[in-house]
Amino acid sequence: MALKTLSAKAAAALDRDLMSTGAFSIDQLMELAGLSVSQAVYRVHPVTQGSRVLVAVGPGNNGGDGLVAARHLRHYGFLPTVYYPKRSKNDLYQRLVKQLEDLDVPFVEDFPAALESTDHVVDAIFGFSFSGEVREPFPAVIQAMANTKVPVTSVDAPSSWNIEEGPPKSGTGSSFHPDVLVSLTAPKPLVKFFSGRHFIGGRFVTHAIAKKYDFDVPEYEGIDQVVEVGPEGHKL
């Protein structure tokens, strides 16, 4: 049985449903998404393997998930550093930044330099709503993530990938293959081009919503916010 996936259009509609009939606020969804990302990172890269985590944050919701993940990682004992070149003026993002500043989490301007002294990277630049060209300053950042030997965990989608068609055929991101992918709510069609460790996070989806959008809610264990799945969607 192939893994059921969610198109970009369906993912956007599902988010709207969660925030209308589902009664969730965007703050709640971002908090739960970032928490699940932090748990996946902890699972694949325990603090004992190196505490330095570099989080690359984009301008939208995917970046917000990264900011939340960085906060949780700090509480787990990691030493996160955040690269956030295009800061949102939205109050929600400004509060997430303030929360990190209060935990003495440093923000850096030079991504390639920061990459040289980290143990793990979280790619929270672009999510399921990404399309079109990768704009500055992100082409060099994505290329650096493609070239590094440091393990990379991508949030919902490897940045620059087409949600339906996977990595670009050429140019920025064509050689970017992260080690870990955390699919939020449900996997997107690009997972068929991904060959690393795959987690699903989204322990807030009701069975009614999953039925409406025709995907399966995995069985989360205990207090886990993520489930690792194999290529066919079976639980590992």
pLDDT at 2: 63
pLDDT at 145: 98
95-105 residue pLDDT tens: 999 999 999 99
Contact 82, 110 (CB under 8 A): no
- Kindly state the percentage of the chain with pLDDT values over 90: 89
- Decide the pairing of beta strands 52-57 and 120-124: parallel
Tell me the pTM. 0.96
Residue 1 confidence (pLDDT) above 60: no
Q: Which residue has the tokens 């192939």?
A: 2
Find, among 218, 193, 196, the residue nearest to 205 by Cα: 218
Q: Which residue has the tokens 């650096």?
A: 144
17-72 residue pLDDT tens: 999 999 999 999 999 999 999 999 999 999 999 999 999 999 999 999 999 999 99
Positions at the binding site: 61-65, 123, 127-133, 156, 159
Positions at the binding site for K(+): 62, 123, 159
Burial of 191 (0-12, 13-18, 19+ CB in 10 A): buried
Burial of 7 (0-12, 13-18, 19+ CB in 10 A): middle
pLDDT at 236: 78
Distance CA 130, CA 178 (A): 17
Helix (H) or strand (E) holding 81: strand 79-83
pLDDT at 78: 98
Tally of residues, the chain? 236
Positions at the binding site for (6S)-NADPHX: 61-65, 127-133, 156
Complete edge-to-edge strand list for the sheet that includes strand 180-184: 107-108, 79-83, 52-57, 120-124, 152-155, 180-184, 197-201, 226-229
Domains and CATH numbers, the chain: 8-229 (3.40.50.10260)
